Amino acid sequence: MQKKIWLWLLSLVLAVGLAACQGDQSEDETPEQNEDTEQQEENGDESSGEETESGEFEEVTLTDKSDTEVTVEEKPEKIVSVIPSATETVFAVGAGEEVVGVSEWANYPEEVNDIEKVGDQQLNIEKIVSLEPDLVVADLNNADDIEAMRQAGLNVLVLGAQNLEEVYKDIELVGQATGHMDQATEVIEQMKSDVTEVQNAVSDLSEDEKKRVWIEVGPELYSGGEGSFIDELINLAGGVNIIGDQEGWPQVSEEVVLEKDPEVIITTYGYYMDDAVDQVLTRDNWQDVTAVQEEQVYDLHSDVLTRPGPRLTEGLKELAHSIYPDLVE
């Protein structure tokens, strides 16, 4: 079972990398899209989705991460969320009571354990339709299932953050679509406060004092390079990503890691595999690595470091504490 979970986690990480590449293809259009959004807001074509003072939900039209306009006419009473990061976002903004279906891999918050499951990597579209949701919250990683759900007549809002700024935008989208914009704003403000706290704590580090960091999202040596939120978190935490010169989510050779000689190693799979830290510390070829010699190897829960959702800044704080325990509480 642990192996199955680990393989799914690894495939999700790779899917995130693919989504990042797809996102790069649309970056050239961003200024124009931003202008269109600003124009819509000026014309009143896009509302906040928040309830009015009388408690009534105002119809809202949003452009989601699949570049599709999604109109929510009434406040959703039944929501299905088909990927864990999206589920965490829905609950974080206060719409958890409306959730009637989640993916097999959803494990946070605890309430999801009692909610109907609608599949894992391969969604059960028939099951989702039977739940009669007013809104399905998905992610770019759901790939072909998105179109299948839309063809089945479901109203699907697609997320797909690749960095913290996009996580904030995803939270805002969900807040608008569910009528919980006030709560969404609070979540975003708290996340930004977490970032500021960490940045202030490490702000006096000189370039020479910044530690070289290797984050290992799998024993097969996958990690996040330039353009990934893993790389962003390392930089915000005052570290230097040893594969910051590579893009996306590459599989790195052992020789590269040994050559870069990380001073801190973070694993993110201890929740799914036993003795993750010991596995690193006892690798035959790694005994000369500074992090191994000084036993600066730590395991952090994958969900707060590899899910682009509202707990990502919790992961940032844990990461910064692991790198600089004397600076970050």
* 8 A C-beta contact, residue 184 and residue 192: no
Among candidate residues 139, 159, 179, the one where a domain is terminated: 179
The parent domain of residue 199 ranges over 191-323
Q: What's 258's domain CATH number?
A: 3.40.50.1980
pLDDT of 40 reads 40
Shared domain for 7 and 156, answered yes or no, is yes
User: What is the structure's pLDDT at 58?
Assistant: 93
Predicted pLDDT of residue 271: 82
Determine, yes or no, domain membership for 186. Answer: no
pLDDT at 252: 96
Q: What is the pLDDT of residues 95-143, one digit of tens each?
A: 999 999 999 999 999 999 999 999 988 899 999 999 999 999 999 999 9
Q: Are residues 72 and 134 in the same domain?
A: yes
Q: Give residue 50's pLDDT.
A: 53
Q: What whole-number distance in Å separates Cα of residue 58 and Cα of residue 112?
A: 28
Task: Give tens-digit pLDDT for 196-254.
Answer: 999 999 999 999 999 999 999 989 999 999 999 999 999 999 999 999 999 999 999 99
The percentage of the chain sitting over the pLDDT mark of 90, rounded to a whole number, equals 79
Q: How far apart are CA 139 and CA 170, in angstroms?
A: 10
Q: Which amino acid is at 325?
A: P
The reply to whether 24 falls in a domain is yes
Give the global pTM: 0.85
Q: For residue 8, is pLDDT > 80?
A: no
Q: Please indicate, yes or no, whether residues 206 and 169 belong to a single structural domain of this protein.
A: no
Per-chain mean pLDDT for the chain: 88
Least confident interval from 269-278, 284-293, 310-319: 269-278
Residue 329 in any domain: the answer is no
Report the pLDDT value the prediction gives residue 274, as an integer from 0 to 100. 84
- Number of structural domains (the chain) is 2
Q: Is residue 184 part of a domain?
A: no
- Is residue 11 located within the same domain as residue 128? yes
Alpha helix segments (H runs only) across the chain: 2-25, 30-43, 84-92, 125-130, 144-151, 164-178, 181-202, 229-236, 254-260, 276-281, 290-293, 302-306, 312-323
**Are 92 and 168 found together in one domain?**
yes
* Cα–Cα distance for residue pair 75/149, rounded to 1 Å: 20
Give the residue-averaged pLDDT of 43-49.
44
Q: 53 pLDDT exceeds 80?
A: no
Residue 328 lies in a domain: no
- Torsion, Cα 143 146 148 153, to 10 degrees, reads 180
Residues 281 and 166 in one domain: no
Per-residue burial over 109-134, b if 16 or more Cβ lie within 10 Å, else e, is eeebeebeebbbbebbbeebbeeebb
- pLDDT score of 11: 52
- CA dist 16 and 24 (Å) reads 12
How many CB atoms neighbour CB 254 within 10 A?
11
Which of 157, 179, 201 represents a domain boundary (last residue)? Answer: 179
Residues 26 and 139 both lie in one domain: yes
Do residues 53 and 175 share a domain? yes
Pick 43 or 49 by higher pLDDT. Answer: 49
- Per-residue pLDDT reduced to its tens digit, 154-172: 999 999 999 999 999 999 9
Compare 280 and 42 and report the one with higher pLDDT: 280
